[in-house]
Structure 1
């Protein structure tokens, strides 16, 4: 994969840490360009079979979150004022990073820069990086794809606020398929049929979508957890920005809310992705449409997904929030 050496391509980038800003701004230390290039070069020499490994029964990408990272994260110390963004892969995580960055900038918590704004996935940083994070001043903005039961216990003990974004499972599968086939650190060259089977069995990075969803459904009464859906945000981003700002305690004026939502549509993020993500922008921001699964699923695959959804999530509050009948049938 060609990478523009004049950009800082954010394969998986930021961890907030104390650097140059003053006041109560959140701070960010970035994975350097050379670090990114090293990972890509390693991926080119790594077979697809070696790119994934299992840790405590869940698959993870070896190059980005080796076992030492996952072990180190388990004892990470959270803070009450941490800002945590959580999502199963390809549910709108990078989009929400941009939205949260703009909200925090308007609230005076973070400065907007021209460099990448991809949030830190805590599982991508080993013991040395996590030591920097632990010493960083507040507030810290971080993120994760980890299953809720695998998020460090301190985040629940400290009652850290977590924004969780979910997307309908059919579009998530399609987006994850394309992402995997175009990301050098993940296995590629798979057929859609093959990937469909792996996704449905949970044999993909970070495990089963449905396991994540069922676990988060159990936390919907937690006042420190806010679950939003990709589809609802696409339909009314302004209301989403308003609710997210309130949840984190950011007091924005109506004009600020309108400004953030206007600048944060998926299309706006995609157009600016050359600045925020370098040549990898098209990998992170592909289509962003609702219903693309119809261009990929066979009728049999659609029925199989329907059966699993009905078995695992029908009748749950998160299942209702996903509005499966409208978006997946």
Structure 2
């Protein structure tokens, strides 16, 4: 069974795919380009859903790309070794995913014009989704009860750290012109409205 996580500057990192050395390189060496598009989320906030939407927008609705290429190749997680390797060698505009708090992101981003989408989800749903996600993987040695996990979530002692500090840190950027804040719940409402509209239009 895999170890639970290791700590780096107060943040628990899942050892399976995030290494401290890569996180340090992301922060200190990675060069964010003005034409990059960055998807920022706390885990279990709708990251994969947002990646699919952005990819469909980029291809003007043509689904061939998302049907033939996995999302971790279309929008690599920069804090992983494989994602970092792909992104550092990729030419042209890059679509980048990132889960960690603001103090661990690339320093070069803060003087760039790269566009950012920050997706926020209700912490109650993040907590429940995270608990069952980790419980259904082989990445956790001993998953505690939901009650204990809830207490640890409130203290930030879960993988990727505190949801509250993550939100507080990244929302400090919300006044920037290149920083867009989206809410999972609003996306869900729009999705439901579009589905209903489509179904009604089909029946008419």
Fold in common (TM above 0.5): yes
Residue 85 of structure 1 is matched in structure 2 by 39
**What SS does the aligned partner of 2:93 have?**
coil
What pairs with 1:1-329 in structure 2 (closer than 5 Å)?
A: 44=1, 46=2, 50-74=3-27, 75-106=29-60, 111-118=65-72, 119-125=75-81, 130-237=84-191
Residues 225 and 186 from structure 1, CA distance in 2 versus in 1: closer, same or farther, beyond 3 angstroms? farther
Once residues 171 and 131 of structure 1 are traced to their aligned partners in structure 2, the CA distance between those partners, rounded to angstroms, is: 32
Once residues 106 and 187 of structure 1 are traced to their aligned partners in structure 2, the CA distance between those partners, rounded to angstroms, is: 43
Once residues 192 and 30 of structure 2 are traced to their aligned partners in structure 1, the CA distance between those partners, rounded to angstroms, is: 34
The runs of at least 4 consecutive aligned structure 1 residues that moved more than 4 Å come to none
Residues 238 and 66 from structure 1, CA distance in 2 versus in 1: closer, same or farther, beyond 3 angstroms? same
TM norm structure 1: 0.54
Structure number with higher strand proportion: 2
Once residues 39 and 138 of structure 2 are traced to their aligned partners in structure 1, the CA distance between those partners, rounded to angstroms, is: 24
Q: Contact between 1:180 and 1:188, CA under 8 Å: does it hold in 2?
A: no
Once residues 171 and 190 of structure 2 are traced to their aligned partners in structure 1, the CA distance between those partners, rounded to angstroms, is: 23
TM norm structure 2: 0.85
Tell me how many residue pairs correspond in the alignment: 193
Residues 55 and 219 from structure 1, CA distance in 2 versus in 1: closer, same or farther, beyond 3 angstroms? same
Once residues 235 and 149 of structure 1 are traced to their aligned partners in structure 2, the CA distance between those partners, rounded to angstroms, is: 32
Q: Contact between 2:78 and 2:87, CA under 8 Å: does it hold in 1?
A: no
Once residues 148 and 67 of structure 1 are traced to their aligned partners in structure 2, the CA distance between those partners, rounded to angstroms, is: 15
Residues 194 and 155 from structure 1, CA distance in 2 versus in 1: closer, same or farther, beyond 3 angstroms? same
Once residues 198 and 77 of structure 1 are traced to their aligned partners in structure 2, the CA distance between those partners, rounded to angstroms, is: 34
Residues 84 and 186 from structure 1, CA distance in 2 versus in 1: closer, same or farther, beyond 3 angstroms? farther
Q: Contact between 2:52 and 2:66, CA under 8 Å: does it hold in 1?
A: no
Show structure 1 runs of 5+ residues with no match.
1-43, 240-257, 263-329
Aligned Cα root-mean-square deviation (Å):
2.4
Once residues 77 and 99 of structure 1 are traced to their aligned partners in structure 2, the CA distance between those partners, rounded to angstroms, is: 25
